[in-house]
């Protein structure tokens, strides 16, 4: 009896493969040229797909940028659970800084910020709020006092994103400790 070789199936299929090619092409173009100079036809050419495929899947360049930024800027990792809120927040902020400060991710973050256009309910922000809530709830479950999740966003995440989007102060992982210290002072938790 002869073995018959079955064709290998591509993981995720053609659609997932096209999405990955398009996202990679967009990320490269944004990193090379800046968001303002990127067009759907340029992304399509770089990805080796038709522009109509991009328009069908994402609607327009803004839709593609927004989804790609969310996909790239949301690291797929478990949240820290070190045993103290202070250490959890430092580890979380440090990881976000290291992830978002990569040149391509910073370019996408800038693009996402520009696309937000006053919309304060982006996927990226919703995800950071959910993570902040999880960390605060972990602290409460351990019996710790904790700032409100919005305070965590305002005093820990917002300064990081602001520095990355608008430049100015350098963004290094050590910034995480300083911002967490300031958050605890501002939220009157320094004695806990």
How many domains, the chain? 2
With bands split at pLDDT 50, 70 and 90, how would you rate the model's confidence at 7? very low
Domain boundary among 59, 84, 113: 59
Reported confidence tier of residue 160, pLDDT bands at 50, 70, 90 = very high
Q: Is residue 54 located within the same domain as residue 80?
A: no
Whether residue 181 sits in one domain with residue 96:
yes
Q: 35 and 129, same structural domain?
A: no
**51 shares its domain with 82:** no
Residue 110 belongs to what domain range? 76-186
For residues 129 and 172, state if they share a domain: yes
Q: CB burial class (10 A; 0-12, 13-18, 19+) of residue 46?
A: middle
Phi-psi category of residue 167: left, alpha or beta, with phi > 0 → left and psi -120 to 50 → alpha:
left
Same domain for 93 and 49:
no
Same domain, 52 and 86: no
6 burial (CB, 10 Å; 0-12 / 13-18 / 19+) is exposed
Same domain as 102, residue 134: yes
CB 77 within 8 A of CB 64: no
Structure tokens at 174: 């050590």
Residues 21-72 pLDDT 10s: 999 999 889 888 877 888 999 999 999 999 999 999 999 888 888 888 877 7
> Residues 98, 29: one domain?
no
Q: Which domain CATH number covers 138?
A: 1.10.357.10
In a domain, 66, yes or no: no
Query: Is 128 a member of any domain?
Result: yes
Burial class, 134, CB count within 10 angstroms (exposed 0-12 / middle 13-18 / buried 19+): middle
Residues 55, 86, single domain; the answer is no
Using CA atoms, how far apart are residues 162 and 150, in angstroms rounded to an integer? Answer: 16
- Per residue in 71-128, pLDDT (tens digit) is 777 767 789 999 999 999 999 999 999 988 888 888 888 877 777 766 666 777 888 8
């Amino acid at each position: 009896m002869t073995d018959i070789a079955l064709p290998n199936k591509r993981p995720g299929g053609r659609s997932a493969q096209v999405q990955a090619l398009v996202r990679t092409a967009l990320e490269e173009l944004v990193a090379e040229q800046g968001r303002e100079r990127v067009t759907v036809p340029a992304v399509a050419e770089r990805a080796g797909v038709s522009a109509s495929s991009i328009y069908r899947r994402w609607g327009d360049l803004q839709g593609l940028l927004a989804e790609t930024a969310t996909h790239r800027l949301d690291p797929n990792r478990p949240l820290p659970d070190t045993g103290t809120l202070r250490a959890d927040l430092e580890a979380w902020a440090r990881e976000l800084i290291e992830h978002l400060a990569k040149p391509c991710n910073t370019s996408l973050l800038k693009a996402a910020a520009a696309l937000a256009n006053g919309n304060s309910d982006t996927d990226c922000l919703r995800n950071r709020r959910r993570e902040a809530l999880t960390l605060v709830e972990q602290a409460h479950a351990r019996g710790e006092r904790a700032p409100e999740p919005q305070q965590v966003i305002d005093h820990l995440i917002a300064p990081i994103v602001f520095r990355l989007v608008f430049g100015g102060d350098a963004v290094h992982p050590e910034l995480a400790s300083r911002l967490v210290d300031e958050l605890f002072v501002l939220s009157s938790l320094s004695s806990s």
